[in-house]
Amino acid sequence: MELIDILNYSVAFFTIYTTVFFLLLFFKYKKDYYTTPKWSGNTPLVSIVIPAYNEEKYLKKCLDSILTLDYPREKLDVIVVDDGSTDRTATVAKEYEKYGVRVFSKKNGGKGAALNYGIERARGEFIATMDADSYVTPKVLKELLPYFEDHEVMAVTPAVKIAPSNSVIREFQRIEYLMILFSRKLLSYLDAVPVTPGPFSIFRASIFKEIGGFDEHNLVEDQEIAMRIQQHNYKIRSSVSDDSTVYTEPPDNMGDLLRQRVRWQRGGIRNYWRYKFMIKPEFGNYGMFFIPLNFATLSAFFIVLGLLLNAIFNNPFYTRYILLESVVMSFNMFTVIGVFVLLMSFVWLYAAVSSFKSERIKLRYILLFMIFYWYLMVCYNVLMAVAEIRREKTSW
């Protein structure tokens, strides 16, 4: 067997194995998928820290949603940190001071720094971070806080979604968010939640004293803090229930979307490299499965890209005389395995999307997402991220 065959087989097996693993995990915990712990009636003080940089467009909707939370108003400590905005963000925020919202303005220093600034001033027993371009549903606090009855739980993540729309690109992102949410929930069963997303992840306030605040120089600070919590062997829980939904605004245009994803990818690669020391049995599934899985996925990506380029550019001269035939004849054993891999990925994606009963997405969007968005987006993101990785630019 030649090297090229071994690489083909390895990538195919890896993809099938990973998909099967996640599907098994889903079926094992399907009954508990939607279940959230019951609310005890306790209403601890919760600080909500909203870092905002040029968010005049979305901030009002965000604050309005927070003020309508189904939670005693006096038990909410809402903090807006204007991170040196050049638009009307501060003015919009100040209009809410009459409702008890505390507004701070600081010199622009990045999201991590703005979050830390707010956390230092927070009074609550629990601290929720909140992206200014997101908005909550009323019951989210009562849905998430009960997870903290378990004293080892240091953070809980909500069901971050994108509201339905008629825009195809927005629908694609909606599917993508559901897929991420599905994976995060499944990973929570393995104590391997990899990220505490910006929109309304709630933290036990004491964790910041113990492990420090957000990394101010990290491209994906919400992932880094989750990794640090994992490093200290604390639990992060994830909810997917409808009442724990937080809606976020996706980037308006393709350029912003690509920039955001490249930043995620770049930051992700850096963070996994930084925390590679956790690949040890003492870090359980997180150390022995999840971190290696990321490195394996990245390696598989480059192998597949290499194999594709080899197939495209290494065709014998004579195939130009039988172009169509050679395309048809290329459907060989590896293609069949490739088709199996595609089918498995589709099953996984379909399981992910259909696991959310309240979310209706057309099948054709799922198929289009898979063909035109998922693979191409990953391809673009990884290549750009690797190309840019030498640069140490950290920004919003």
Partner 1 sequence: MERTIAWSLYVAAFVIAVVVFIAGVYVGTILDKSDIQTLSKEVESLSQDLATMQLLYLIDDNSSAFCPLYESELSSIEEKREKLGYELTFLEDKRKIEAPELKKQYFILEAQSYFISKKLKESCNDKTIIVLYFYSNKNCTDCGRQGVDILSARDTVATRNIKVRIYSFDGEIGSQVAEGFMRQFAVSQYPTTVINGDVYSGYISKDELIEKFSK
Which residues form the interface with partner 1 (CB under 8 A)?
12-13, 16-17, 20-21, 24-25, 28, 152, 190-191, 233-235, 281-289, 315-319, 321-322, 325-326, 329-337, 339-340, 344
Nearer of residues 197 and 338 to partner 1, judged by Cβ: 338
Nearer of residues 91 and 332 to partner 1, judged by Cβ: 332
Shortest Å distance, C-beta 22 to partner 1: 9
* H or E, element range at 273: helix 254-274
Shortest Å distance, C-beta 5 to partner 1: 8
Per-position DSSP letters for 99-162, written without gaps between them: GT-EEEEE----HHHHHHHHHHH---SEEEE--TTEEE-TTHHHHHGGGGGSTTEEEEE-EEE-
Nearer of residues 332 and 395 to partner 1, judged by Cβ: 332
Shortest Å distance, C-beta 277 to partner 1: 15
Nearer of residues 42 and 332 to partner 1, judged by Cβ: 332
C-alpha span between 153 and 156 (Å, rounded): 8
| Helix, coil or strand: residue 54 | coil
Task: Give one word for 212, left, alpha or beta, with left for phi > 0 and alpha for psi -120 to 50.
Answer: left
Shortest Å distance, C-beta 343 to partner 1: 9
Nearer of residues 8 and 239 to partner 1, judged by Cβ: 8
Nearer of residues 123 and 280 to partner 1, judged by Cβ: 280
Q: Cα(first)–Cα(last) distance of the chain, in Å? A: 48
Shortest Å distance, C-beta 270 to partner 1: 24
Nearest to 198 by CA among 123, 124, 249: 249
Q: What b-and-e string marks burial along 20-46, b requiring 16 or more CB atoms within 10 Å of the CB?
A: eebbebbeeeeeeeeebbeeeeeeebb
Nearer of residues 7 and 379 to partner 1, judged by Cβ: 7
Shortest Å distance, C-beta 345 to partner 1: 12
Shortest Å distance, C-beta 344 to partner 1: 7
Bridge partners of 172, per DSSP, are: none
Q: Are 126 and 168 in contact (CB under 8 A)?
A: no
